[in-house]
Amino acid sequence: QVQLVESGGGLVKPGGSLRLSCIGSGIDFSDDYMTWIRQAPGKGLEYISYISSASTNINYAESVKGRFTISRDNAENSLYLQMNSLRGEDTAVYYCARMVHDNCWFVDLWGQGTLVTVSS
Amino acid sequence: DIQMTQSPSSLSASVGDRVIITCRASQSINNYLNWYQQKPGKVPKLLIYSVSSLKSGVPSRFSGSGSGTDFTLTISSLQPEDFATYYCQQTYRTMTFGQGTRLEIK
């Protein structure tokens, strides 16, 4: 079954850390570019970060640069997001997603999301 | 960063109506423009990629057009299952989403 499954969300205090994981199945994970996208409650979609298939290209949104780190383990079909120095505005559902290129880049597969709540 | 501005932010329409949602980029993004549909509590779903390419399985009442900085998503005849929020996305320079257009039943 083709799917992405996130885990690791939860309640964390401001300034705290959390590590999200995403496992891909039914896909050629090691060939795929992957991305993290978040959605604050009642708000729109926000790009966070992407990582190329061999981890040679990595990019972050300005809002998380220096605080979040994306990584992957292709042997484990796993994508990670290490989140440090968390703030209230980081509260959101975090989606793991696959990027595909066909004339342009787009997201064709999303996980179900994991909720991160930053609150004291 | 490239900013994406959708209009309108919300829209009320009836079943059978023709609906047009627009998306404007702050600079030219070539053809790197995609559209997603999201229903409450659900994961976003890709509708159209590269301005006008319909994803397999998406009904043909959905279409996209545009170039440079101005793009549109058209739903030719609204169906009950189309009431949702729609997002445009540019992937010319990393990735940016529009703020969303909420399509509601009139």
pLDDT tens, position by position, B62-88: 999 999 999 999 999 999 999 999 999
Residue (of B37, B25, B43) closest to B73 by Cα position: B37
A104–B contact, CB cutoff 8 A: yes
Alpha carbon of A47: minimum distance to chain B alpha carbons (Å): 6
- Per-residue model confidence as pLDDT tens digits over A7-64: 999 999 999 999 999 999 999 999 999 999 999 999 999 999 999 999 999 999 999 9
- Cross-strand bridge partners of residue A35: A50, A97
**B99 contacts A104? CB cut-off 8 A:** no
Cα(A59)–Cα(A49) distance, integer angstroms: 5
- Find which of B29, B56, B91, B102 to mutate to test the A interface (most A CBs within 10 Å of its CB): B91
Cα(B44)–Cα(B46) distance, integer angstroms: 7
